[in-house]
């Protein structure tokens, strides 16, 4: 479930813990924190020193 809007979030079968997916209902970026069953938290916002 999306922690922002409670919608059900579908993920690919090869999703990994730590991957970021988007809720199709509200658009929130969600980080996958557990698999089988998948659980999500809101992904942390981009920080100033993030990059390549």
Residues of the shown chain interacting with another protein in the complex, contacts defined by CB under 8 A: 14, 16-20, 31, 43, 46-52
Least distance CB 32 / another protein (angstroms): 8
In terms of CB distance, is 6 or 41 closer to another protein?
Answer: 41
The CA distance from 26 to 47, in Å, is 22
Least distance CB 26 / another protein (angstroms): 20
The CA distance from 50 to 10, in Å, is 27
What's 52's DSSP letter?
A: -
The CA distance from 15 to 27, in Å, is 18
Least distance CB 6 / another protein (angstroms): 23
């Amino acid at each position: 479930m999306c922690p922002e809007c409670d919608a059900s979030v579908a993920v690919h079968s090869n999703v990994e813990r730590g991957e970021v997916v988007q809720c199709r209902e509200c658009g929130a970026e969600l980080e996958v924190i557990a698999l089988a069953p998948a659980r999500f938290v809101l992904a942390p916002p981009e920080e100033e020193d993030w990059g390549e």
